Structure 1
Amino acid sequence: MPENKKQKLKSAAYDIFSKKGYKATGISEIAKQAGVAVGSFYNYYDSKEAIFLAVYTEENNRIRQKLMREIDWEGDAVHLVSQLFEKLRSLISFNKILSEWYNPAISSYLHAHYSSEKNKDSDPFHLFLLETFSARMSAEGFSSDKIQEILQVYQLFYYMDTHITEVDFPNISRTIEFLATYFVKGLFE
């Protein structure tokens, strides 16, 4: 039954975080909604940050899976980048969980998780992008060396996204989009 309580806590946390956001949600509220004693909460999660990360990761994976299904990955490369960022914005802008990516109260915790080599090497969306973009460039006639050089630039975009917050650099997400768009234009036009 321990997994059942853990799942109840995560479901309650998802429900509350999605309505109130990170800051306005408390552990006692999550425990109460899950029907679990506050003290028992700590048998399953070390902190509010830990349960938020579990909820965030699951929600992020769900949204990324949706992106992988809905985007035309074969179309014009510049349009593809535009479509990717546009879809991301539309799926995230009204999502109180995913919009916490830039919240100073939790962003460093989220960024540390997503920038770790362990997570990066197992992140399904990151791996999908690497594979999709590599195959695309190979089909376009890019040499293996050139593909590796270009993937280094992609890794820089990933680094910026997982290390720079809105506090560090206002409007970072739009800046990354702008850089990616013009980088891809330079490659394919």
Structure 2
Amino acid sequence: MDIKSNIFKCGKILFSTKGFKKTNIKEIAGMAGIGVGTFYNYYKSKEQLFIEIYIQENEKLKSRLIETLDLDQEPVKLINQLLMENFEAIHANPILKEWYSQDFYKELEQYYRNESGKNIDSIRGFYLDLLKNWKSQGKIRGDIDDELLPVFFDSLISIDTHKDEIGIQHFPQIMHYLIEFIIQGLTNHHK
């Protein structure tokens, strides 16, 4: 295995077990059997390595979701299935789960601004395409700004990360209702 893919593999193991914040370059290098200096020949930072791992995991999840979904079913059913599977997958995957941690955001915000050309969250892109498609077919209200469409789902994810405050006993019931209300609201035509 070449050095770069070995660093990638060791990084993925450590980030999955210890989390982004608690993992340091020295440990990744140690596990990969290289010096810290060698790490920097391949990645300029821990953030860069993490983002590459994150993008790969996100793409894998997206492919899996696309394979299991029937894209021709009713929008309400489809989005509900998509979101539920997405939430479950994120919670089951420590790498993807980092996306919602405050530390990750603080540390990586800067990185995103610099790399803003990249679409880091491909699942969000997939939603957006679906929603824009439905909007052009007249399945979604025309009076809602395109830029707001993904924000409805971003807000669900925020709620998901605060489930302790809302009360774990109300999950996932409240999630199902909110998804249903949002989709009904988006698909009910304004008279």
TM superposition score category, shorter chain reference: 0.7 to 0.9
Q: Which segment is superposed worse, 104-113 or 176-185?
A: 176-185
CA RMSD between the two structures: 3.6
Q: Is this contact kept in 2: 1:72–1:80, CA < 8 A?
A: yes
**Structure 1 equivalent of residue 147 of structure 2:** 152
Moved over 6 A (4+): 161-165, 174-178
- The amino acid that maps onto 1:152 is E
CA distance in 2, matches of 1:142, 1:95: 32
What do the CA deviations read for 1:65-117 (whole angstroms, capped 9, x no partner)? 21122222222222222212210111111211111112222123445528964
Shift of 1:49: 2.0
Q: Which string of whole-angstrom CA distances, capped at 9 and with x for unpartnered residues, describes residues 133-172 of structure 1?
A: 33333334669xx28x4522214347768999958xx77x
Sequence identity, in percent?
A: 28
- The residue that corresponds to 1:43 in the other structure is 41
Residue number in structure 2 paired with 1:102: 100
For residues 103-132 of structure 1, the C-alpha deviation after alignment (integer angstroms, 9 at most, x for no partner) is: 222123445528964124x86434433333
Q: Indicate the residue corresponding to 1:70 in structure 2.
A: 68
Q: Structure 1 residues 142 and 36, CA, compared in 2 at 3 Å: closer, same or farther?
A: same
- TM-score by structure 1 length? 0.73
**Per-residue CA distance 1:18-37 (angstroms, 9 max, x = gap):** 22222332212211222211
**Match of 1:184?**
183
Distance 1:48 1:162, change over 3 A: farther
Amino acid at match of 1:185: Q
| Contact 2:124-2:150 within 8 A present in 1 as well | no
| TM-score (structure 2 length as normaliser) | 0.72
